A and B are shown apart, each in its own frame.
Chain A
Amino acid sequence: MTHTIRVDIVSAEAEIFSGEATLVVATGELGELGIAPRHAPLITRLKPGHVDVVATNGERQQFYVSGGILEVQPQVVTILADTAARAADLDEAAALKAKEEAEAALANRGEQLDVAEAQAKLAEALAQLQALERMRKTLKH
């Protein structure tokens, strides 16, 4: 088993690849990496780019990752891929959007009874009616 290494490539949304390989090539933050069996334990961030996996039968498979983390353990290589391109400013924008939405929701508070709220109240009233109906029935029998 010293000539192959187990490779797992997963993202938060799906399992991308899992199997034995003789070589893994990926783009680390500090440069291109080639991981062969018996590589020293390593953990690094990945840049967006290709990940090449050379399977035991010599077949070369290529995956695209938009960033993530590569971890090398004595027998296992794990790639935790990001699902989308990530950058500090993009994350910042997303956070800002979430905040703004919250503020907008707060600003709308009490302005008018929204439909969902009314529906919820209706459902509650109906449930009460139903309970009454049931009670009446059990009393009758």
Chain B
Amino acid sequence: MASGREIKTKIKSTQNMRKVTRALEMVSASKIRKAQDLMKASRPYARLMRKVIAHVAQASTDFTHPFLTERENVARVGFIVVSTDRGLAGGLNSNLFRRTLTSIREWQGKGAQIDVVAVGQKAVQFFRRIKGVNLIGTATHLGEKPKVEDLIGVIKVVLDAYTDNKLDRVFLVYNDFVNTIVQKPRIEALLPLSLVANELENAGGAESEGVKVEQTHDWDYIYEPDARTVLEHLMTRYIESVVYQAALENLASEHAARMVAMKAASDNATKVIGELTLVYNKARQAAITQEISEIVGGAAAV
């Protein structure tokens, strides 16, 4: 029974590990719910915002906003990468970063400079090590209930850079929450907005119809104080809401991915415990058998 105690300790520690992973799984399962609620709550704002922007873009204003015009030469490309703060979420972040890097290399191949804004601790840790990538802003520790205010700083960095011609194109990268099992890394064009508008019009049946029907009105607004200021304000808020929603999607994805990863870990632990128990029993049986044969052998000798 030399290894009996050793195996027993191993079983015990695996059981403890399983307790931890089970707990993490349960915690994430409950948090997915909350994250989804947050996502749902933020949708009306983005929807109405989109409608208003569609109206404003449709209404005849002689002023075109820089966010709406596409630039010919793309010398610098910005990426807003939304990741998680913590790990233990399976391949969630690494998949996202791989996708981002592919896209970054592609742009670098075209001779563009790359600026990255990292949201979440993981993205910060990853992108500060990547060569040829300039980290221009970070936002971390958004917590379980991200607030728009937490993101204002990084968004302003990007918008300012865009207005000053330091960025010609901006992409938003995050994990799209498809369902509890599937999360897809997604790269979305954020600026110029014209690209986004097309995408949005195609998305969703009834909603986009509503937008289109109302777009046929040919009245214009009374702008207070003036079209430029209002449009400026609208654009900023819209981009903020898009990035905020990406953060929420990513949060839901994080919890879903963690739940799945932890479930796999718990299952594996159960398997390991089963195997170890088998080994333990075998060892015990062997020891007993040996003891008996020794006794029998001894008795026979007498």
Contact = CB atoms under 8 A, between A and B. Distances in A.
A59 interface: no
Interface in A92-119: 92-99, 101-102, 105-106, 108-110, 114, 116-117, 119
A109 B148 CA distance: 28
A42 interface: yes
Most buried by A among B122, B153, B160, B244: B153
A114 to B, nearest CB: 7
A43 B149 contact: no
Range class of the B interface residue count:
35 or more
B251 interface: no
B212 interface: no
Which of B42, B117, B268 is packed against the most chain A CB atoms within 10 Å?
B42
Question: Among B46, B223, B233, which residue has the most Cβ atoms of chain A within 10 A?
Answer: B233
Interface of B: 38, 41-42, 44-46, 48-49, 51-52, 55-56, 87-88, 117-118, 121-122, 124-125, 128-129, 135-140, 147-149, 152-154, 156-157, 160, 214, 217, 219-225, 229-230, 233-234, 237, 240-241, 244, 268
A29 B230 CA distance: 11
A114 B125 contact: yes
A93 B156 CA distance: 10
Contact of A29 (B38, B148, B214, B225): B225
7 contacts: A12-B45, A83-B147, A84-B147, A94-B156, A97-B153, A99-B157, A101-B139
A41 B221 CA distance: 5
A78 B210 CA distance: 15
A41 B222 contact: yes
Interface size class of A (residues with CB under 8 A): 35 or more
Contacts of A110: 129
Given A102-B135, A120-B87, A69 B157 contact: no
Given A28-B224, A98-B157, A102-B136, A130 B42 contact: no
Contacts of B41: 13-15
Nearest to B140: A101
Given A10-B45, A44-B230, A95-B160, A105 B268 contact: no
Contacts of B220: 41
A106 B234 contact: no
A64 B60 CA distance: 32
Contacts of A72: 221
Interface in A62-77: 68-69, 71-74
